[in-house]
Structure 1
Amino acid sequence: MVQTLVISFPKGVKAKESGFGRLPLHVACRSGASAEVVDALLAYHPDAASAKDHLHRIPLHYALKNHAEADVVSKLMETYPEGVKRGDHRGWIPLHVACSVGTHPDIVKTLIEEWPESVWVKTHKGSDALKCCAMMAKYAEHLDALKELVEEERRKTKEGGDGNEDEDGKKEGNLINFG
């Protein structure tokens, strides 16, 4: 179905909607689209994986927020690996989003493996991944597992231990911030 639409109107896959400047891939990820739909959209416009909307969010932010299947998240990360470092207008990286909504621990582990230092990155309001885990009270079934994943990576990387801290000892990492 998506391929038929794209073939009929190929410019549509690159057209942004007027409200938030989202591409069809943003909307698909925001709406819980299947891996097949995401694959089809990426096949016609792979750069959409790195496109930001007016909130500076990329499709990966929306996929995680809406509990996308692991294969959707994997496809987005495979297409745009640097996406794990993209901060939105509030400084939220994909790991923050995943932790705050109780994303399955396997997906959180994949995000951390792609960018281990992400466990130290803070939002503009000072929340790190552990604090974001605390926001997910209604998803308590994964809470302990998510906290353990984040804490385990912190033990491995030890804040400030990789030379990415500034003169005040604050961790910058390699966050790509649009804001």
Structure 2
Amino acid sequence: MLDLACLHGHAECVETLLLQGDDILVHDSTTRRTPLHSAAMNGHTECLRLLMETAEDSNIVDCTDVYERTPLMMAVANGHVDTVLYLIANGAIVNAKDSQGRTALHRGAANGHEECVDALLHNGADVTVRDHRGRMPAYLAATCGQVCILSNLLAMGPSSSKSEDHLGYTPLHIACYNGQDNCVETILEQEKITELSGNPFSPLHCAV
């Protein structure tokens, strides 16, 4: 019941259940999602506050589900900047990785949540961290056509040509492949593209 109350943002019900001694770290049977994940994914910051104030261990803020996703990752993925800021203020690990090696910044970059990305960057998010396929957040921004975020990430981190994944593809390759014209233009405006190593296909091949 606590998980459902948090999922739907019923703060009074959450408070009542906590007073009755409900387990904050109860997991659902499918993804092992906790009430903190449920509150974070829907931006119910008041429910999160009640959970955090009741918890005996502040490290609960970084509890994980079966995919090693934290509440912060869920909040960023759904664009809830107030919740993101609350979690960071309460000690959430900004650069935590899930089972695929992705951080909250990877999610914000892919989904286009600029305010969340800004909050992460202002609180120590690493723009160079790679997932298990070698992809930095800028790569996902280019994949999904998130132009403003891509521009900011490239300005803060390595150039597109130095952001190759494990197959040798760069953000420019993937932007060309997916037809993300604005991202291609952004990369070319910010960088002087020289010979790309690591992959037999050029961005031109990918565009064709």
**Normalised TM-score (structure 2):** 0.64
- In 2, the alpha carbon distance for the partners of 1:89 and 1:80 equals 21
Please tell me whether Structure 1 or Structure 2 has the larger radius of gyration of its CA atoms.
2
Q: 2:140 aligns with which of 132, 150, 161?
A: 132
Q: What aligned pairs does 1:70-81 form with structure 2 within 5 A after superposition?
A: 70-81=81-92
Secondary structure of 1:122's aligned partner: coil
- Verify: 1:60 aligned to 2:72, yes or no: yes
Question: Is the 1:119–1:150 contact (alpha carbons within 8 Å) kept by the matching residues of 2?
Answer: yes
Compute the displacement of 1:16 (Å): 1.9
Q: 2:47 aligns with which of 34, 37, 42?
A: 37
- In 2, the alpha carbon distance for the partners of 1:14 and 1:130 equals 34
Q: What aligned pairs does 1:15-164 form with structure 2 within 5 A after superposition?
A: 15-30=26-41, 32-45=42-55, 46-68=58-80, 70-81=81-92, 83-103=93-113, 105-116=114-125, 118-137=126-145, 143-154=146-157
Point out 4+ residue stretches in structure 1 off by more than 4 angstroms.
Answer: none
For these two proteins, the number of residue pairs brought into alignment is: 145
Compute the displacement of 1:60 (Å): 0.7
Q: More helix by proportion, 1 or 2?
A: 1
Match for 2:143: what amino acid? M
Compute the displacement of 1:94 (Å): 0.6
**Normalised TM-score (structure 1):** 0.73
Unaligned runs of 5+ in 1: 138-142, 160-179
Match for 1:16: what amino acid? H
Alpha-carbon RMSD: 1.9
Secondary structure of 1:85's aligned partner: coil
Secondary structure of 1:6's aligned partner: helix
Match for 2:107: what amino acid? V
Q: Relative CO higher for 1 or 2, CA cutoff 8 Å, sep ≥ 6?
A: 1
- In 2, the alpha carbon distance for the partners of 1:131 and 1:87 equals 17
- In 1, the alpha carbon distance for the partners of 2:49 and 2:152 equals 29
- In 2, the alpha carbon distance for the partners of 1:33 and 1:121 equals 26
Unaligned runs of 5+ in 2: 1-11, 163-208
Match for 1:132: what amino acid? L
